[in-house]
Homo-oligomer: A and B are copies of this chain.
Amino acid sequence: MQVSQRFRAGRMLAAAGAMLLAGNAAAYDWQALPDKAPSPDHNPTTEAKVELGKKLFFDQRYSATGTVSCNTCHNIMEGGDDGRPTSMGVHGRTGPRNAPTVWNSAFNSTQFWDGRAKNLEEQAKGPVQADVEMGVEQLQTALERVTSIPAYRDMFKQAFPRDDDPISVDNGARAVAAFERTLITPNSPYDRYVKGDKDALSEQQVRGMKTFNQVGCTSCHSGPVFNGPQMNMAEGQGFYQKFPTFTDNQYVDKYDLMADQGRARATGKDADQHMYKVPTLRNVALTAPYFHNGKVKTLPEAVRVMGKVQLNKDLSDKQVADIVAFLKGLTGEFPQMTLPRLPSKPGETIVEAGDTKAGGGAH
């Protein structure tokens, strides 16, 4: 938007150019992001669930050390990730993969890089237990810590009023998923452009949009979320691609692209070797570093690598710059939220601090 303002002097020319360019690009079905994500029949979104889920999302106290929450690695104050190559959980441990953004994750038809969770409800339980994330051995332990706080118990009851046993791990995951379905970033410059505001993207961005389509990026990064066809939101029906597809190039070694088996790690199937869920490109300018292993530091390099390893094309510097400009136009509007208040157990802590490595320090 700022860019287009800068070009206001030549607006007529730009608009004319956009029309010509969009002429070609119009052959492709560019789609805007919905303002809301649908909720599945098995977990209709309600205000009470969202409110509970938001608190659980931000509550670090039920991790093994009391220091890691969902938001630690999926920081919704920023790009919905953590800016690290791979995330760091309890005890300073790191996992093997880059934290995907939680923004617009409601529009993924599977979750995790390898698609091993069929929905957000299933996904939400993973990191609580992972020894390199929140590190709680049993989900039930995390639940018990949380629901030792009376106000949390009340919230579970309010969020799941028809359940005989509202206080459960599954309901905690349902609440977090319901909250995550509210994390939508509509009205990016791109969205405004495809809705008719031809000044929303700069001339370079429109050129990048066309290049993005022409070189073949849209063959995978399609649809309103740039993560492939929406599959009618059928749960678990993921859209996967092999990465890298072309291996005879400098990048495969340089960025260690073959080390991870991808979806095969989850399924054990040879056919799934190096297959990954196609990730969204929404807000991609905010989620560096890039790829499943976070080895590529900048967006221009990520575009260059993708051109080569997926399309076997040596993109020119100009093509890369144009595509990057376009991708920056996919940064949406982030909803304003209140900071949650986390309830407490008066006079006691729910944190189980466990053994720690002592050192000298402040306070």
User: Chain A: residues with CB nearer than 8 A to chain B?
Assistant: 58-61, 65-67, 72, 75-79, 82-100, 112-113, 126-127, 130-133, 285-286, 288-289, 297-300, 324, 327-328, 331, 334, 336-342, 344, 346-351, 353, 356-363
Shortest CB-to-CB span from A1 to chain B, Å, is: 13
Q: Which of B97, B99, B286, B344 makes the CB contact (< 8 A) with A346?
A: B286
Shortest CB-to-CB span from A32 to chain B, Å, is: 21
Known: A95-B360, A350-B83. A342 touches B77 (CB 8 A): yes
Contact of B88 with A356 in the complex, beta carbons under 8 Å:
yes
Contact of A341 with B331 in the complex, beta carbons under 8 Å:
no
Shortest CB-to-CB span from A124 to chain B, Å, is: 11
Contact of B348 with A299 in the complex, beta carbons under 8 Å:
yes
- Cβ of A339: which chain B residues have Cβ within 8 Å of it? 76-77, 336-339
Q: Which residue of the partner chain B has the closest CB to A294?
A: B353
Contact of A358 with B65 in the complex, beta carbons under 8 Å:
no
- Cβ of A82: which chain B residues have Cβ within 8 Å of it? 60, 66-67, 351
Pick the most buried of A92, A112, A285, A324: most chain B CB atoms within 10 A of its CB: A92
Shortest CB-to-CB span from A287 to chain B, Å, is: 8
- Cβ of A95: which chain B residues have Cβ within 8 Å of it? 358-363
Q: With A77-B340, A131-B360 given, can you name 12 additional A-B contacts, CB distance below 8 Å?
A: A60-B75, A67-B88, A79-B344, A88-B356, A93-B357, A93-B359, A94-B357, A131-B361, A285-B347, A298-B348, A327-B347, A328-B346
Contact of A361 with B286 in the complex, beta carbons under 8 Å:
no
20 contacts between A and B (CB under 8 A): A59-B77, A65-B92, A66-B82, A66-B83, A76-B339, A88-B356, A92-B93, A94-B357, A95-B359, A96-B358, A97-B361, A97-B363, A100-B363, A112-B362, A131-B359, A132-B362, A286-B344, A298-B347, A327-B347, A338-B339
**CA–CA, A286 to B84, complex, Å?**
32
